[in-house]
Each structure stands twice: as C-alpha cells, then as structure tokens.
C-alpha cells in the first residue's frame, strides 16, 4: 500500500511541475504582449491603460498565489470593466454614429 502511494506521488509531482512550467511560459508570453501593448505610443490611450492594469493585476495575483497556473486562470477570467474608461452615449469620446 505504501508503495502505491509513493508511486502515485512520483507520478503526480512531475506532471504538476510540467504544467507549472507551461503556465510560466504562457505567463511570460502574455506579460510580454501586455508590455508591448503598454509601450506602444501609437495605440489608443485606453488600450494602454488596460494593459497597464492587467500587468499590475497579474503581478499582485502572482505575489498572492505564487503559482503561474492560478495567475493565468485569473488573467483569462479578468474582464476590464472600469466604468471610467467606457464612454457614455453621446459623450465627445463616443465615436459611434448616432442612429
């Protein structure tokens, strides 16, 4: 019985380490993309602010969780619904045609 438990642990631990390294690679790629979006001076100001907030959120979550997989799960679930950045109907910044 003891050997079965040890074998199961030996089977599970490398799989978790492998998935964590995959999540780390995904995290690094996502962070690089967000940093490029934030640094792009030609992009929209709102997009740059969203990228900046997403980077900060990811850093804070990684500091709390200490897991790339959990952080990436939160990043994928995160929807930036900051009402300050959404133009209201009829505002100067609302460029949708009035129909």
Q: How does pLDDT run across 4-19, given as a tens digit for each residue? A: 554 454 445 444 556 8
Q: Confirm whether 9 is domain-assigned.
A: no
- Domain region containing 44: 19-78
CB 71 within 8 A of CB 27: yes
Q: Confirm whether 72 is domain-assigned.
A: yes
Q: How does pLDDT run across 25-50, given as a tens digit for each residue? A: 998 898 899 899 888 888 888 888 88
Distance of CA 51 to the CA centre of its chain: 10
CB 27 within 8 A of CB 58: yes
Residue with tokens 């790629």: 29
Q: Confirm whether 38 is domain-assigned.
A: yes
Count other Cβ atoms within 10 Å, centred on residue 84: 6
Total domain count, the chain: 1
């Amino acid at each position: 019985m003891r050997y079965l438990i040890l074998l199961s642990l030996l089977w599970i631990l490398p799989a978790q380490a492998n998935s964590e390294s995959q999540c780390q690679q995904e995290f690094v790629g996502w962070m690089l993309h967000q940093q490029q979006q934030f640094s792009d001076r030609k992009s929209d100001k709102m997009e740059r602010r969203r990228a900046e907030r997403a980077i900060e959120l990811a850093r804070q979550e990684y500091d709390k969780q200490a897991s790339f997989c959990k952080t990436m799960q939160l990043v994928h679930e995160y929807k930036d619904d900051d009402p300050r950045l959404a133009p209201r109907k009829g505002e100067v910044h609302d460029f949708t045609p009035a129909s």
